[in-house]
Structures are given as structure tokens and as C-alpha cells.
Structure 1
Amino acid sequence: MNNDDEFYDAVTGLDSDESYEGASEASFKDAGVYDDAQRSNGSTSPENGIRKRRTTLPAPMFSRNNFSVWGILKKCIGLELSKITMPIVFNEPLSFLQRITEYMEHTYLINKACSLSDSIELHAYAVAAFAVSAVASQWDRTGKPFNPLLGETYELTREDQGYRLISEQVSHHPPVSAFHAESLVGDFVFHGSIYPKLKFWGKSVEAEPKGTITLELLKHGEVYTWTNPFCCVHNVILGKLWIEQYGTVEILNHSTGDKCVLNFKPCGMFGKELHRVEGYIQDKSKKKLCVIYGKWTECMWSMDPQTYESNKKAEKKADSKKQKSPEPEGVDGDDADNMPEVLETVAVIPGSTLLWRISSRPQHSAKMYNFTNFAMSLNELEPGMQATLAPTDCRLRPDIRAMENGDMDQASREKERLEEKQRSARKDRSKVEEEWSTRWFQSGTNPYTSSQDWLYTGGYFDRKYSDLPDIY
């Protein structure tokens, strides 16, 4: 821990004379608010319960067209990227602590589960639907969130959705982010510690999920744990960036022995499986109770296993008759791995039950880092908020604020200053042999998986912040 590698993000990856002049010329004067009709997905209620929160950023994103990461990444093929510095232009104006807060966008699914009594329905809503929805915001989100500073925190209270959340960067090398969310009425607790491993494979960057996620439904005495799927960003060197998620996610109900197995399918050569998720819930005797299918970019459905298998057999038979037809064109040999065109939505099988449907994004999302409505609001500093926030909160971080405002030069300078300040603080602690002490989480053992975890110690919302470090 005495190695300066702990502070790998201290520089911006740009020479001092590199400038983003003009980045803030085009900006949005006012942060608008959508009314319910504009936010509707065919429903009369607003999506996700969000009301009168910021739905745009102060300035649009800076164009990345004139920047290349090849000079940085060409020596890193197959290596772990946590120590590789990227130009700030490839960031998005959120900290990783705010990014993991996006797990909570569809909290209504947990609230729905708490209102049910049937175990199968509980599992389908609370685990399958929520676990898929928790990673749905990554669709087209190709910007890299800022690495949190050691001791950085983020809080969010959503009375409209009935929860509050606190997160803290508990380690910088390796980077570990811990979070704890709880129902305001005592229905659930949702917590975890995340430390993804990033690797560069020549054309793509792959994020390997690390860390356990735990959902406790206190009202029903049920506990579920899982890890997230792999996430891959394609064409980081050449071509249009696109994202896929893949891998098997196993969600265990520690109270009943039931298990939900979700297969996030890789794209494949012709893209037929792009974004598709398919799985099932089984009891402790491995009997399938229900099937779950859909796309993590669109919606998830459930139905009984027998009907689903019959439909799959009919579909397979129909496909076999098409084998004599010309195959669709695949990769054409270009350097870029082009994303296959998605021509169809989820084919809903009669008798299916809708578990979750993704929220529509604002019309200007593509100019705003492809943020969702929920993400747009995460860094908003509302009037009077600063007086109650912890001084370590992400909203007070000047480099992220400058980038959000469209001032890329200032953002780059502030990022370098903050990382240098953190390096200096680390050296000062090293001189007196002082270990870093976390404030709101402590390292321990997850009581359900027996794996290493970071557990909330309580006290954050007592608002006693006098002993917090000056990290900004």
C-alpha cells in the first residue's frame, strides 16, 4: 500500500498544452422539467416516481471524434486497466459512486415484491426483474465514470420511492466502492461492495464483475445474493462504440434454497442473441418453477416452463426450415466490430406476465452522455442541499462539476489537482505510519455468502461530519 500506484488516476492523460477550448460554447441555458405526459411509457403515472427533478445537464457532452485512445491502450492488451489513465474526454460527469446508485432506478420492483406473498412472484420481482433492471442503464453508456477519491461519499434520499442510500470509496488500490440502501419504512435493505476488473482485448474493454450484491426483504424474512454480468465496450479504437453484457448470473434465495439462473447471452456472429436474457427459477430440489426471458435493454417477462419449452421447440423447428436460406451477412473483415442491427423486439409468448419494462430516455439523451432521466438528476445540487451534505459528497467534487458545466479545461485541471492532493495525503500518512480509516463501512464477512464484504456501520444520517477528511 506504500506504492504510488495507488494513485494511478493522478494525471489526466493529456499534455499540459492540450486544450478543450470551445467545449462549452454550445450549452443548455436551463434545466427543464418534463411533465407526466412527456415521461409516460403508455402509462398515466410518471416513470420511476421521479417528479420535478432535473432532466437535462447544463451543457451537452464534448465530442470525442478528434481523440484516440490507441496511443494509451496499444501496450495494454490483456492487462488489467485500473492503473491506466484515460483522457478526461472519455469520462462522463458522474462518479462511479453515482453510477452504482443507478441500481436503484427501478426500486418500485422491490416495493412491489414487498407487497406480494407468493414466493415465486417474490423471487421473480425482487430478484430477476430488479437484477436485470439494475444494469439496464448501461445501455449506450460508453463514457467512463470518474474514479472516486479515497473517502469520497454519495448520498441519495428518495422519499417518493421510499429509500435512502449512502456509498463510500473504501479503498483506492484496489478500488472498492461500498453502498447501503434501506427502505424508509423498514421493508428492505440493499447493499454491496463493487470492485470491477477492467481488461483491454485489442478492440474492446471488458469489465469483470467483482463483489457480492445482497437484497434483504425484511418484511418477508428473505435474503438474495448475486453478482452482475460481464460488460464489454466494443470498438474503443475504431468504429462506433457499443455495449453488450453477458455471462450467467445466479441469484440465490438463502431463506428457501430457491435459485434464479439468468443467462445474459453474448451477441454471437450474427447478433441474433444481442441483449437477450433467458433464465428460470428453480426450487431447492432443482424443479423449474417459472421461466424468465426478455432483453436487458427493453423488458422482462415470466411464464410457466411447460408452455415456454413447447414454444421453443416450435421456434427451433421453424428455424430449421430456414437453414437453406442465405445466411445474414456477418463481420465483413473491417477493423471495427460493428454492432449487428437489431430489427426485432422481444417476441412475447402468449400467457406471459410482464415483470419490468425499461423507462424511456429523454429526447436529448444522446447529447447528454446517453443519461437516463434518473442519471440526469444524480449530480444536481439543489438549493440548500450543501448545508446538509457531507463535505466528501460527489456533488461537491469540482472536476465533475466543471465537466457537467461544459468546461473541459477546468475539469482536467481540477482532476489533476485532486489526484495530486490525494497522493500527497497518502505520503503524509505513510511518513507517520498512519493507516487510512473508513468512516461509514468496515471490512467484514457477508453473513449469507461468507465472502469478504464491506458492511455499513451506521450513523451517516446523524449528520455528524466534523471529523471527515478534506479531499476536495
Structure 2
Amino acid sequence: MSMDAADPKSAGWLSRLGAGLAKSFNEGLDYLAGVEDPDEFERKDAGDGADDAEPDETASERKALWSQLKGMMGADVMSLLSVPVFIMEPLTTLQKMGEIMHYCDILDRACEEEDEHARLALIATLAISTYSCSERTKKPFNPILGETWEMALPNVDGHYVAEQVCHHPPIGAGHAETPKWTYDITSAVKTKFMGNWVDIYPLGRTRIVLKRTNEAFNIITPTTRINNIIVGRTWMDSFGELKVCNLTTGASAVIKFKECGLLGGGRWEVSGEILNAAGEPRMSLRGKWNEKVEVTRPAGGGTETLWTKLPMPTDDNPYGFTEFTRACNLMSTAPPGLLASDSRLRPDRVALEEGANAEAGAAKHALEEMQRAERRRRDAAGTTWTPRWFVKSSNAELHDLEKDIGTDVWEIKPEYRESLTRRLAEKNGAGAGAASVDDVAFDPWEFPDTAKMQVAAASSSSSAAAGPEDATTAGAGSDVVAKE
């Protein structure tokens, strides 16, 4: 049947659909194969249309983002563009990396376990549990080179520190230590932009050492996909294999993360086995990475829950943070003598947390310009950046599965342990009693005069900034904190 002979109502509906596609997809976006949100199949319509509405401001910002991304199909977009604050959350990548410590008390339990395969099951469970923080789809801030983040770990006797050791490509290094175990990670990612989604491939190396048994473990993580970044409700999925190897005994855990299927089938599900050194099954794990993990032992050993996700906060929680993630920004969770380079102090992060998006965008732009200025000075002088607390390993041990980790391995320097020990002993050093981020100024800079730079506001075409911002506030009062 020709269109002329079609029902006028149908023709009108098609016309409206065509106009809507042309508007939403911004000159050609309609060819993209966006992924449906499986939550929509379970969500009950409240009747007020709230779920379907998108603020005009957000819609226009998404279109502006698409104008930057549309020429990058198939590219690694991790560090190719400066993204607007509307798609960001008030954390840095260092803090998000630190969410691996959310359920680190599981490692204490592993240290106390006598059975080798039960220890491995617990460490695999820890690796799975870290994904329970990953359903958030907002992007954290890229750390400034030399930026740090520390935390006194809850529920265990230990501390965690991370530092941005490289900017291009972005690489973070982290170290946690307690009397029972150590956890070292060099973290980077490779991304692939595919139109309406981005695939994220983890790079780097992880080492966990249990001190009592002197066993070392590694973790190889699956792929993560962020769906509907331009059109539709944004959601994430992780799929593929997670592998944990006992590098001392040869035992391993192979856990399959099931990819979300049609109508949301299989989303969040994980299942796998604990294998001995000969590859023979000894235990099985099953559960959902955003809910719980259970272990089943052979020969009638029964099923036991190894981990259950803690309840989410019930008060206003616009970014979907867990209680642990909220604590990442609290001054009270930092060790004494807060380093001036700590992520908590970033003015753009603080502004976004307070809901001042325009100020956050301007502060973000200022920090980026200050970082570029430092790089130009290093290039002109022919020098390179040297991390304060981590050093590049010259002979890092790599497992067969880690041969192509995509980055160097960074290890903690003895100087950090000395600094932390001294600050813990003093407990009243500069910055130790800071009650808020206003008491300490963010200062990760190599050159002291960088903090005094005057940075012009970003152009009006960028949604990352709105109006002038005096960048000197980033370093004002930096003598409040002792620069280690």
C-alpha cells in the first residue's frame, strides 16, 4: 500500500516518529544501535510520566556530548576529550578505584581460613563484590597528575593510598596494607566508543598477599559496557570471565559474568568453580554481583552465603552512593596529616557535591589548564614527572594471563610507609584536625607557582564551564598542610 493510501492517523504517527528521531539523534544518530534498558521491563508506570521525561538541559547537554563523540566511532575515548560535568559524579577515578576496599574485611576472613580452596573462594568473592559499586553510570573526575587519595579502612586495621602516576594514558596505582594482608593494584582502562555505548577493558595488575600463608593472588577482570550514553536511560553491564589465580599453589577460580540478555534475562548473574592446581573442581560459586555470593561444597558440604551487599542509604542519594562511597569524601576517614594532593580537596569535586554545577565546570576547566601548564614547563625543560609515593617496577612478576596488561606496574615506595607512620604517631600534624575541605587547599602541583595561575573561563560552547573562576583559590593557604 502506498503512503498516500495509508490511514491518515498512521501517517501522522509516522511523521511524529520521524521528527522525534531526527531531533533526538541529532543529525544521523538514528542509525546507532542503542541497547534497551532492561530495568524498563520491570519498572511499573507510576502514571505521571516522570520516568519518560528528560530535562531540556540534560537533553541539550547530551546532544553537545554527541557532537564531540560522533567522529570517534571505535576509538579509545578515555582521555581524548574533556567531558561536561552533567555526566560526572563527585568522586575521582582514584576514589572509585578505592571502592575495591568496600568489603576488604573478606580478606581478613580469608587469612583465618585453613582450607586453601576456601581461601580462594573468599578472594574470588571479594573480586565479585567490588562490582556492587559499579552500577552507577556517572563518570568520576580524571585525577590530576600527582593527585592522591588515602583512607583509613573501616572494619580492618589498615590504610589505603592511591596516586595518579601517569596522565597520558591515565594510570592510577594503589596500595593497601593491614597486619594480615596487602593489596596492590596498577589500574588503567582501554575504552571503545561504539555510538550509544562504550566498552571498558580493564588493564593493569593486581596482587593480593596473605601474610600468614604467604600466598599471592591475582585478579583478571571482565569487560564492562556503559549503555545508552547518548539516547535512553543509561545503564551498565559487566560480562565475560573473572579469573583469580593462587600464584603460590596453582589453584584458580573461573567465574562467568553473564551478559544481560533480551528483556533483562541473566543480568547481574555470576557462576563458576574453584579449581585445584590440576584443574579439578573443588567448590562452586553462584549469585548476583549486586546482591550476594554463595559457595557450594562437594560431598554434601552444603551451601553457604559468603557475601551479601549492605543496604543502600535510605535518605537523599542523587548519585546512588553506598555508605562506603560516601565515606570516601569524608575528612574523618583520612589518616592524620591529610596530604594537600588528596582528591577530597578538589574544588570541582566539592562544587559538584554541593550541587553547584556551573562552579564545578569552571573549577574543572581551571584545574585542567593548570595541569597543561605544568606539562608545558616539563616539556620545555626536558624533564619528566616523578610520582611521590609509587615507583615503576623494573622486574614486576607477571602471570601468563598478565603478559599483555597494557601498562607498567607501579609499587609503593618505602617513603610512604615512613610518612604514614610519622603522621599516625603525631596525630596532630598540620591538616590532621581539618573539619572540612574548606580548611585545606588542593595542591598536587609540581611547581609552586602553578597554584597562583589565573585561568580564563572556558568557552560558552563547552557545557563544562559557565563563567569566570579565580583559579588562585586552588592553592590558597597551601601552607596549612605539610607537603610530604
Q: TM-score range by the shorter chain?
A: 0.7 to 0.9
RMSD over aligned CA atoms reads 2.4
Secondary structure at the residue paired with 1:212? Answer: strand
Give distance in 1, aligned partners of 2:335 and 2:363: 20
2:102 partner SS: helix
Counterpart of 2:75? 79
Tell me the secondary structure at the aligned position of residue 256 of structure 2: strand
Displacement of 1:205 after TM fit? 1.3
Match in the other structure for 2:327: 377
Identify the residue that residue 310 of structure 2 maps to in structure 1. Answer: 359
Question: Residue by residue, what CA displacement relative to the aligned partner does 1:301-352 show, whole Å, maximum 9, x if unpaired?
Answer: 1113678xxxxxxxxxxxxxxxxxxxxxxxxxxxxxxxxxxxxxxxxxx931
Shift, 1:63, TM fit: 8.0
Is the counterpart of residue 107 in structure 1 residue 107 in structure 2? no
Q: How far apart, in 1, do the equivalents of 2:225 and 2:315 lie?
A: 25
**Partner Cα separation in structure 2 for residue 197 and residue 431 of structure 1:** 29
Q: Look up the match of 1:318.
A: none
Residues 372-451 of structure 1: matches in 2 within 5 Å?
372-382=322-332, 388-444=337-393, 445-447=395-397, 449=399
Q: Residue by residue, what CA displacement relative to the aligned partner does 1:32-90 show, whole Å, maximum 9, x if unpaired?
A: xxxxxxxxxxxxxxxxxxxxxxxxxxxxxx98455313222222221110212211111
1:135 Cα deviation (Å)?
2.0
SS of the residue corresponding to residue 279 of structure 2 reads: coil
Select the residue among 91, 95, 100 that pairs with 1:94: 91
448 and 78 in structure 1: CA distance in 2 versus 1, 3 angstrom threshold: closer
Secondary structure of the corresponding residue to residue 262 of structure 1: strand
Quick one: distance in 2 between partners of 1:294 and 1:63?
39
Q: Distance in 2 between matches of 1:215 and 1:208?
A: 21
Partner of 1:458: 414
Query: Contact conserved, 1:254 with 1:448, CA < 8 A, in 2?
Result: no
Trace 1:51-200 onto structure 2 (pairs within 5 A).
64=58, 67-68=61-62, 69-82=65-78, 83-125=80-122, 127-139=123-135, 141-158=136-153, 160-183=155-178, 186-200=179-193
Rg larger for: 2
**Contact 2:182–2:210 at 8 Å: present in 1 too?**
yes
Contact 1:211 1:453 in 2 (8 A): yes
Paired residues of 1:211 and 1:227 also in contact (CA < 8 A) = no
The CA distance in 2 between the partners of 1:97 and 1:231, in whole Å, is 18
Structure 1 residue 353, shift from structure 2 partner: 1.0
Q: CA deviation at 1:468?
A: 6.9
Amino acid at match of 1:287: E
| Structure 1 unpaired stretches of 5+ | 1-61, 308-349
> For 1:349-398, what per-residue CA distance to the aligned partner results, in whole angstroms no more than 9, with x for missing partners?
x9311111111111236x42111111111112349x69711111111111
8 Å CA contact retained: 2:173, 2:187: yes
Determine which of 256, 263, 272 is the counterpart of 1:279.
272
Q: Which amino acid aligns with 2:292?
A: C
Separation (CA, whole Å) in 2 of partners of 1:135 and 1:360? 15
Q: Partners of 1:395 and 1:85 in 2: how far apart?
A: 21
Answering whether residue 212 of structure 2 is matched by residue 219 of structure 1, we say yes
The Cα offsets for residues 100-146 of structure 1, whole Å up to 9 and x where unpaired, read as 11100101111111111111211111x2110001221012x011000
Q: CA deviation at 1:160?
A: 3.5
Partner Cα distance (1:63, 1:251) in 2 = 44
> 1:428, 1:193 → 2: CA distance?
27
Tell me which amino acid in the other structure corresponds to 1:67. Answer: E
Larger displacement relative to structure 2 (444-453 or 154-163): 444-453
Contact 2:341/2:444 (8 A) holds in 1: no
What is the percentage of aligned positions where both structures have the same residue?
Answer: 30
- 1:283 to partner: Cα distance: 0.8
TM-score by length of 2: 0.71
State the partner residue of 1:228: 221
For 1:454, give the aligned amino acid: W
Contact in 2 for aligned 1:302/1:353 (Cα 8 Å): yes
Contact map agreement 2:103 2:126 (CA 8 A) in 1: yes
Kept after mapping to 1: 8 A contact 2:150/2:335: no
Q: Between 232-241 and 446-455, report the one with greater CA deviation.
A: 446-455
Task: Describe the shift of the 1:461–1:159 C-alpha distance in structure 2 as closer, same or farther (beyond 3 A).
Answer: farther
| Counterpart contact for 1:391–1:468, Cα < 8 Å | no
Structure-1 residue corresponding to 2:459: none
May I ask how many residue pairs the two structures share in their alignment?
A: 363
Local SS of the residue matching 1:209: strand
State whether residues 272 and 284 of structure 2, in contact with CA within 8 Å, keep that contact through their aligned partners in structure 1: yes
The letter of the residue matching 2:371 is Q
Aligned to 1:238: 231
Question: 1:240 offset after TM fit, Å?
Answer: 1.0
Classify the secondary structure of the residue corresponding to 1:352.
strand
Displacement after TM superposition at 1:219 (Å): 1.3
1:288 aligns with 2:281: yes
Cα pair 1:265 1:275 within 8 Å, conserved: yes
**d(CA) in 1 for partners of 2:66 and 2:251?**
46
